[in-house]
């Protein structure tokens, strides 16, 4: 690390990009190799999406969402395998966060102002000591605009749909490639088109396209950038 001799805070790395670009797999591996803590901020939105579903709260009802968010005790931790664990009101909800219902609810709640306001402070506190790699949609633009390194990790919609389709097929899901591609495009539009904290690359972010780059090369390049940051 180029620090001119004085002791510097360990780096803060912000990684944004669309769903399916491989952010979480890449970040977990980079964190392991570079000695950083990985924070998956999508898990926080998913935890609120899950809780809203459990409690029958309509994400469009700002009043009810505000009350929900204010009353929730949310703790975030990193497990030994690098995954982000979320504890809501004392219950570890991590294993409930990856269902299609929770994905949809997370996407809905993530567009609501009270939710983003509630999670902003939590994310900043989690990153305050440095030595972190944080992935999401608005990390370099809104949450951590002073990050030491900002990466926009992306891949073409077709490649992301291909990967997702493969994952679904492996689980026995009969969704076609065309339907999966339509989903990817719709999610991109929802994430990029929302009024609040839309998905976009920060002006000072380095864009890395993973469409044709093998995983190992993406990880090595990112580690090299962190070492040079
Ligand atoms: O990355 P993911 O699929 O786990 O994210 C779940 C949802 O949360 C997704 O709809 C995008 C949203 N999200 C967000 O708006 N801002 C973030 N920093 C992270 C996720």
* DSSP for 73-121, written as a single string: -EEEEE-TTS-EEEEETTEE-GGGTTSHHHHHHHHHHTTSHHHHHHHHH
Give domain status of residue 184, yes or no. yes
As for ligand 1, residues whose beta carbon falls within 6 Å of it are 19, 41-42, 45-46, 106-107, 110, 136-139, 191
Alpha carbons 79 and 85: distance in angstroms, whole number: 7
Q: Is 152 helix (H, G, I), strand (E, B) or coil?
A: strand
CATH of the domain at 221: 3.40.50.300
Q: What is the pLDDT of residues 27-38, one digit of tens each?
A: 999 999 999 999
Residue 14: per-residue pLDDT: 98
CA of 48 to the centre of ligand 1 (A): 11
Mutate to test the pocket of ligand 1, among 83, 110, 194 (most ligand atoms within 8 A of CB): 110
Mean per-residue pLDDT over the chain, rounded: 93
What value does the mean pLDDT take over residues 106-112?
92
Residue 5 domain-assigned (yes or no): no
Residue 2 has pLDDT above 70, yes or no: no
Q: What is the pLDDT of residues 124-183, one digit of tens each?
A: 999 999 999 999 999 999 999 999 999 999 999 999 999 999 988 998 989 999 999 998
Quick check: is 203 in a domain?
yes
Which atom of ligand 1 lies nearest, measured to the CA of 123? Answer: 18
d(CA 213, ligand 1 centre) in Å:
24
* pLDDT at position 57: 97
Q: What b-and-e string marks burial along 19-31, b requiring 16 or more CB atoms within 10 Å of the CB?
A: bbbbbbebbbbbb
Atom number of ligand 1 nearest to Cα 106: 7
Classify residue 171: in a domain, yes or no.
Answer: yes
Q: How far is CA 43 from CA 97, 134, 216, in A?
A: 7, 11, 24
1 domain-assigned: no
Give the SS3 label for residue 39: strand
Per the structure, the count of domains in the chain is 1
Asked if the structure places residue 4 within a domain, the reply is: no
For residue 119, give the ligand 1 atom closest to its CA. 18
Distance 187 CA to ligand 1 centre (A): 10
Which pLDDT band, with edges at 50, 70 and 90, does 6 fall under? low
Is residue 3 included in any domain, yes or no? no
Percent of the chain having pLDDT more than 70? 97
Residue 179 placed within a domain:
yes
pLDDT at 196: 86
Tell me which residue range forms the domain holding 107.
10-228
Give the pLDDT confidence of 81-101 residue by residue, as tens digits.
999 999 999 999 999 999 889
């Amino acid at each position: 690390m180029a620090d001119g001799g004085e002791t510097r805070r360990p780096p803060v790395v912000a990684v944004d990009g669309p769903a399916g670009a491989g952010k979480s797999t890449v970040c977990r591996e980079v964190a392991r190799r570079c000695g950083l803590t990985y924070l998956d901020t999508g898990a926080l939105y998913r935890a609120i999406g899950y809780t809203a579903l459990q409690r029958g709260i309509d994400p469009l009802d700002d009043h009810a969402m505000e009350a929900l968010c204010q009353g929730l005790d949310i703790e975030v931790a990193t497990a030994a395998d690098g995954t982000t664990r979320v504890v809501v009101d004392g219950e570890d909800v991590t294993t409930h966060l990856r269902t299609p219902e929770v994905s949809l609810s997370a996407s809905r709640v993530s567009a609501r102002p009270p939710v983003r306001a509630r999670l902003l402070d939590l994310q900043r506190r989690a990153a305050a000591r440095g030595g972190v790699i944080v992935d999401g949609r608005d990390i370099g633009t809104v949450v951590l605009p002073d990050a030491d390194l900002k990466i926009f990790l992306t891949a073409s919609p077709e490649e992301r749909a291909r990967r997702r389709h493969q994952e679904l097929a492996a689980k026995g899901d009969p969704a076609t490639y065309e339907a999966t591609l339509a989903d990817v495009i719709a999610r991109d539009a929802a994430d990029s088109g929302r009024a609040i904290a839309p998905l976009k690359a920060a002006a000072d972010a380095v864009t890395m396209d993973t469409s044709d780059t093998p995983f190992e090369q993406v990880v090595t390049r990112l580690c090299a950038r962190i070492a040079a940051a």
